[in-house]
């Protein structure tokens, strides 16, 4: 079992890693990143986190639903997890906000950044440019999507987001 675990370890060249959920609007990018934030910060009000966009105080966080996955807005936050400084940005629809959030996480010295962008266009370019500029290894992936039966899509979206978040957590 130890051999398998060692084979799955990322090489040292991945000391700075950016993993981007890339997909169209309303596909589960933000929900998956919020689900990952929930896994990493079960109690966000007491987590040692640095909130960038929006800049949230503990009092404001206490007024929100306890589960970050239930929040109805995008987040940009850095938090220490398992001796790694991890950044999370669910802002993936507007190039300027994508760029600003990623720049904030880079300046905060995040070793691993989970972010979002659209399938194509300027948001993709912003993610790629920042990864290149700051020497991050960049992995593009997609949220888990239920295609058929389409009438079950909304029912299972939160479950699929959490399963993808658990998969992403393995990179930490």
* 145 pLDDT above the threshold of 70: yes
CA-CA distances (angstroms) from residue 80 to 42, 63, 83, 151?
Answer: 13, 23, 6, 39
pLDDT at 163: 96
- Cα of first residue to Cα of last residue in the chain, in angstroms, is 19
Confidence of residue 14 (pLDDT cuts 50, 70, 90): low
Check: CB of residue 22 under 8 Å from CB of residue 117: yes
Check: CB of residue 35 under 8 Å from CB of residue 164: yes
Q: What percent of the chain has pLDDT over 70?
A: 92
DSSP helix/strand/coil, 141 = strand
* 3 pLDDT above the threshold of 60: no
* 101 pLDDT above the threshold of 60: yes
- Triad 66, 70, 75: Cα angle to 5°: 90
Q: Render pLDDT for 55-91 as a digit per residue (tens, 0 to 9).
A: 888 888 888 988 898 898 999 999 999 999 999 999 9
Quickly list DSSP for 109-121.
Answer: T-SEEEEEE-SSS
Q: What is the pTM of this model?
A: 0.89
pLDDT at 114: 98
Mean of the per-residue pLDDT values of the chain: 89
Confidence of residue 26 (pLDDT cuts 50, 70, 90): confident
Confidence of residue 6 (pLDDT cuts 50, 70, 90): low
Distance CA 141, CA 156 (A): 19
Distance CA 20, CA 36 (A): 13
Q: Where are the domains of the chain?
A: 20-169
Q: What percent of the chain has pLDDT over 90?
A: 64
* 150 pLDDT above the threshold of 80: no
CA-CA distances (angstroms) from residue 141 to 42, 44, 114, 155?
Answer: 24, 26, 11, 22
pLDDT at 9: 63
Q: What share of the chain is helix, strand, coil (3-state, %, to 5)?
A: 45, 20, 40
pLDDT at 44: 82
């Amino acid at each position: 079992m130890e051999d398998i675990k060692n084979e799955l370890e990322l090489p040292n060249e991945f000391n700075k890693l950016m993993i981007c959920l890339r997909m169209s609007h309303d596909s589960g990018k933000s929900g998956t990143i919020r689900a990952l934030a929930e896994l990493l910060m079960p109690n966000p009000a007491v987590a040692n986190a640095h909130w960038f966009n929006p800049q949230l105080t503990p009092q404001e966080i206490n007024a929100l639903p306890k589960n970050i996955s239930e929040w109805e807005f995008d987040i940009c936050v850095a938090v220490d997890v398992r001796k790694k400084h991890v950044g999370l940005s669910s802002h993936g629809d507007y190039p300027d906000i994508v760029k600003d959030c990623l720049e904030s996480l880079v300046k905060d010295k995040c070793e691993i950044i989970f972010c979002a962008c659209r399938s194509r266009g300027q948001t993709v370019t912003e993610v790629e440019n920042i990864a290149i500029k700051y020497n991050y290894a960049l992995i593009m992936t997609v949220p888990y999507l239920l295609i058929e039966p389409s009438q079950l899509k909304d029912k299972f979206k939160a479950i699929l987001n959490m399963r993808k978040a658990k998969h992403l957590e393995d990179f930490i």
